[in-house]
Structure 1
């Protein structure tokens, strides 16, 4: 019979554990309650002929001997991808979504007296899906905020549709009240479907943040305030490398409202994550790289008072104030934003619903074979009609396009063609892409 009082005492007395396990482990301070179970099993089995080296063991141990889930168990297993795991029964539902792992789940420490692990069954996702080249992509048909609520602004909605379909970065400029934030808030409901790997990746970060893990195929949407610090956006911390907003937005939208009011070093440090799709956090004790495959969306006023483009209100700003306001955003950052649209008041009645827009996104997503045009490699060979080549050459001469600007223009044009169920870029596609380019 196991002496549970001694075991509980050992778990809460690190000096006792170190003395007991010194023959087997190097000195390493325990951080996180998910190490309770492996330490407990080391104590229970250190004199028995039981080899647990083929298992990854994680779990919190309560004072009553019950095994509990923690926020870190799911992300650790997803990152390490071991072949076999021993975990609390509470964790099995989440971990069972990860393919290729044998799960042995227990609810109480007593169950280890006679070690006979029972494999947990795998569970499947039960959502609408499309199949592309034998791979499933899941989505929700839910539109809590609908584009039908946005009066007019049909060009802005078209820009949002192109952005969502190809995962292109987008910037809206316009006076307060024209619908910039309203449109971007609705973009999260028309984003493309998600693969199982993407869903697991998103839930890994949700678990680290302490959120409930639901495995819904919903891409993240993060909208930090412009007063947020550099560490809050990119991650940091004095001891460990903690995750920031840009990593929490991975596979989804990162929205900066009032873009010029964000700290200058935040805006400048955005350039590499937007280009390389990753952010590196370096600290004395740790160095962690996070994926940042995001759709960067931003909104800004045309001037500090916001009335420069308004036909009804008078702008109170001087030319110097307007220049200073806009110069807070550097050209290299502008160069990484593929779609730009200047919005003015629009009372037109023609509108489109989120459901209709999402169906168009699905069409483009299938044309892209489950990938995003925004992530095309630099050596990708675009298929252009002769008239489109002529327009491209004229644009290169007239606008002095850099290589990045030309590449971004072609990526957007390809998405426009995909929305029309085509791969070949026509003249009309390139002209529309030029319309949504920052000049």
Structure 2
């Protein structure tokens, strides 16, 4: 019995061993192992492609097993490994196959084609297997070769794939050696490689005034803290949110690959980028489009596509109540579970949540020049759309002033990113596996150490601010980031006070 490796993506990436045996019996091909219709149909494609290469089928029953047999599998890219196992049953030693993953859909003439899901599977494979050797169609080879941690070989036709396993010299000619320029300029921090953004298409220098909002943006970026901007229309809420993406901490290779893989699952362009993800769904978007799902398959949604980056809700109170309340779990657990009849899957949702809202329905409550036309009951009803449990998950709440003619630009994105990189390095040197905004309860106790004055202030503020245990932890995490910006090893009284100044006070 010979076998080749392949992979499928249903409830996450699963490695599949494609096995073949030739037994006595009526000539036929039988595919077992919970194969989908697209795989069952490969029998006809494989037969036609092999006959086009003048292959003579043996007078035996061919059994193809997709192992593990209790896991559903789908994808026409199983064609190539099945055809190779049949064509090379007597030609090649079993150990020549064992180290290769093989993907490819067969044309009736023996041509090898790519599929829509193949690139995302290769991306997930690169995060699961070290230095995997992979044989793929030539049409996808250029992009696939740019994926770190994979050794990509490419062929055009079935006869070339057969020759690949018989001729070592030809095998080396099939090696794809493309390298993505993004991975040629890596920054080393604490022995790990990171890619930092160096292009600022949107710059904070375009925002006049708003010193406090920019300070909050810097704190949020340093620790990946959730933030809400509240202010009059046109004061710079959306401008600030859209510029945050460019100053976020650098990504490591795994984060870049996972972001590209998730984008590929959404049938988007899978270009590697130093920029973290930025997703901004409209308030009319459906719950399924934001959280993922569908009638049969567990499709990826906006909260997972924002993993590692920013999920921005503009006009926050206009989103449906059910959508806003459903945000609580992915914000707290940093993952989302989607269950459907044929599919159950978990996606990572470790994003920075950014919201923007007006202070009242007409937007003029904070204005010094315009009169607010809203009744007090209207304002309360407007703000009540955002529940206390959701607000409790927000690290920074930023009321923003109106723009004045005397306002000036006082800081650039380059300056802010320099600070973010300095704080990021401090967090990594401290031994953190997560940025400050995503620390667990155990990590908070380990890394968020307060002096006696800071602890006293925090204790007094519990009653004054009506802080929950989550609110206390959020305050400590923000104070930890402020201390890092200040270059302090421990959290001091000024750091706690500034963190508390960004808390949302509960209505009493």
TM-score by length of 1: 0.90
CA distance in 2, matches of 1:70, 1:113: 20
2:12 is matched with none
1:343 Cα shift? 1.1
In the TM superposition, what whole-angstrom CA distance separates every residue of 1:114-172 from its partner, at most 9, and x where no partner exists? Answer: 22433544846445443222101111210111111111111111111111110000001
Q: Larger C-alpha radius of gyration, 1 or 2?
A: 2
Counterpart of 2:475 (choices 409, 412, 430) is 409
In the TM superposition, what whole-angstrom CA distance separates every residue of 1:173-196 from its partner, at most 9, and x where no partner exists? Answer: 111111100110111111110000
1:345 is matched with 402
1:3 is matched with none
Task: Please list, as runs of the form range in 1=range in 2, the aligned pairs for 1:80-229 lying within 5 A after superposition.
Answer: 80=125, 81-82=128-129, 83-114=132-163, 115=165, 116=167, 117-118=171-172, 119-121=175-177, 123=179, 125-126=182-183, 128-229=185-286
**Residue 436 to residue 129, structure 1, CA distance change in 2 (3 Å):** farther
TM-score by length of 2: 0.78
CA distance in 1, matches of 2:186, 2:122: 26
CA distance in 1, matches of 2:434, 2:420: 12
**Residue 93 to residue 415, structure 1, CA distance change in 2 (3 Å):** farther
Query: Secondary structure in 2 aligned to 1:23?
Result: strand
Assess if the C-alpha contact under 8 Å between 2:277 and 2:307 holds in 1.
yes
1:99 Cα shift? 4.8
Assess if the C-alpha contact under 8 Å between 2:137 and 2:156 holds in 1.
yes
In the TM superposition, what whole-angstrom CA distance separates every residue of 1:402-423 from its partner, at most 9, and x where no partner exists? Answer: 1110110010011111122233
In the TM superposition, what whole-angstrom CA distance separates every residue of 1:43-88 from its partner, at most 9, and x where no partner exists? Answer: 5346755644543221234566443443422321333434432212
1:283 Cα shift? 0.6
CA distance in 2, matches of 1:63, 1:192: 49
1:373 is matched with 436
Assess if the C-alpha contact under 8 Å between 1:127 and 1:139 holds in 2.
no
Assess if the C-alpha contact under 8 Å between 1:127 and 1:138 holds in 2.
no
Query: Secondary structure in 2 aligned to 1:56?
Result: strand
Query: Secondary structure in 2 aligned to 1:389?
Result: helix
1:356 is matched with 415
Counterpart of 1:41 (choices 68, 84, 102) is 84
In the TM superposition, what whole-angstrom CA distance separates every residue of 1:1-32 from its partner, at most 9, and x where no partner exists? Answer: xxxxxxxxx99955746999872247999854
Moved more, 193-202 or 391-400: 391-400
CA distance in 1, matches of 2:332, 2:74: 34
Moved more, 282-291 or 56-65: 56-65
1:289 Cα shift? 0.4
CA distance in 1, matches of 2:489, 2:197: 27
CA distance in 2, matches of 1:186, 1:102: 37
1:60 to 2:117 alignment = no
In the TM superposition, what whole-angstrom CA distance separates every residue of 1:274-320 from its partner, at most 9, and x where no partner exists? Answer: 01100011011110100001000000111111111111222222222
- Quick check: which one's strand share is greater? 2
1:304 to 2:337 alignment = no
Query: Secondary structure in 2 aligned to 1:298?
Result: strand
In the TM superposition, what whole-angstrom CA distance separates every residue of 1:208-242 from its partner, at most 9, and x where no partner exists? Answer: 22333332221000000001111000101112110
**Residue 176 to residue 63, structure 1, CA distance change in 2 (3 Å):** farther
CA distance in 1, matches of 2:208, 2:149: 49
1:425 to 2:494 alignment = no
Runs of 5+ consecutive residues of structure 2 not aligned to the other structure: 1-37, 48-56
CA distance in 2, matches of 1:421, 1:74: 43
Task: Please list, as runs of the form range in 1=range in 2, the aligned pairs for 1:5-44 lying within 5 A after superposition.
Answer: 16=44, 23-25=63-65, 31-44=74-87
CA distance in 1, matches of 2:100, 2:249: 37
Assess if the C-alpha contact under 8 Å between 1:128 and 1:140 holds in 2.
no
Query: Secondary structure in 1 aligned to 2:63?
Result: coil
Counterpart of 1:387 (choices 450, 453, 457) is 453
1:6 is matched with none
CA distance in 2, matches of 1:314, 1:136: 53
1:78 is matched with 123
Assess if the C-alpha contact under 8 Å between 1:88 and 1:106 holds in 2.
yes
Q: How many residue pairs are counted as aligned between the two chains?
A: 431
Moved more, 129-138 or 21-30: 21-30
Assess if the C-alpha contact under 8 Å between 1:226 and 1:261 holds in 2.
yes
CA distance in 2, matches of 1:297, 1:220: 13
**Residue 17 to residue 93, structure 1, CA distance change in 2 (3 Å):** closer
CA distance in 1, matches of 2:308, 2:299: 19
**Residue 322 to residue 104, structure 1, CA distance change in 2 (3 Å):** same
Runs of 5+ consecutive residues of structure 1 not aligned to the other structure: 1-9
CA distance in 2, matches of 1:404, 1:367: 25
1:4 is matched with none
CA distance in 2, matches of 1:218, 1:69: 28
CA distance in 1, matches of 2:144, 2:484: 36
CA distance in 1, matches of 2:75, 2:88: 22
Assess if the C-alpha contact under 8 Å between 2:64 and 2:82 holds in 1.
no
Moved more, 165-174 or 373-382: 373-382
